[in-house]
Amino acid sequence: MRAAAERWGLEKPYVYFPWTCSYPQPFLQRSDPTEVRKTAQEHFGNVIAQILSVRLDVQHPLEEAEQVIESSRAVLELEEDWDGEGASAITEETWQRAVTFLRRNALGLWEKKGVRVESPSIVPLNDGSLDIHWKVARKELLVNIPPDPGKRATYYGDNRQGGNVVEGDLDTDAPNHWLLVWLTE
């Protein structure tokens, strides 16, 4: 160990310790060992003599959202009057529009910004529509997918204190990841 320390011009022998840093997938696709070394040097204050190995553990950007989507499939089992007050059943078509909206825009956010959005809840309403509801640290966003495919979805979001409000309607077939950008900022 002393020979290695002398070879590298270090006063003390090597100190080995693991370090973990997560990167968005777009960074990993274009990174090289020099970038990894630079980031590690910034983290440890330029004391890196050698990086012995790099291990990349990449989680799919929609993994958590897919779990929510799969569990939300249960709303399709709700029959007419599921709430005892005349509620409409949730159709496969409404559910598909909701999950397509979620997948498309969560993936768009990941591809454009390298940001993974927190998983929302998907909640059935008595009119046959579905709410996609996000509650994150500083903001909340609700997107309502109506049962009528000819109607536009509506959305409302704020900073959980009634300020920084966004609201309106949108076409669920169009890219709307800008709304998730707002949520994650």
Full domain range(s) for residue 6: 2-44
Is the residue at 113 inside a domain?
yes
26-30, 126-130, 156-160: lowest mean pLDDT where?
26-30
Please check the confidence at residue 155 and state whether its pLDDT lies above 60: yes
| 50-91 residue pLDDT tens | 555 555 545 667 788 889 999 999 999 999 999 999 999 999
| Same domain (yes/no): 36, 75 | no
| Same domain (yes/no): 89, 177 | yes
Is the residue at 51 inside a domain?
no
| Same domain (yes/no): 73, 135 | yes
Q: What is the pTM of this model?
A: 0.69
| Same domain (yes/no): 10, 83 | no
| Same domain (yes/no): 74, 37 | no
| Same domain (yes/no): 121, 89 | yes
| Same domain (yes/no): 12, 85 | no
pLDDT (average), residues 107-112 = 88
Contacts of 180 (CB under 8 A, 6+ apart): 105, 106, 108, 109, 117, 141
Q: Which one has a higher pLDDT value, 53 or 100? A: 100
| Same domain (yes/no): 67, 150 | yes
What is the spatial distance between Cα 180 and Cα 117, in angstroms, rounded to a whole number? 7
Is the residue at 82 inside a domain?
yes
| Same domain (yes/no): 33, 74 | no
| Same domain (yes/no): 69, 39 | no
Compute how many other C-beta atoms are within 10 angstroms of the C-beta atom of residue 77: 9
Please check the confidence at residue 43 and state whether its pLDDT lies above 80: no
Is the residue at 56 inside a domain?
no
Domain count, the chain: 2
Is the residue at 141 inside a domain?
yes
| Same domain (yes/no): 40, 68 | no
Please check the confidence at residue 170 and state whether its pLDDT lies above 90: yes
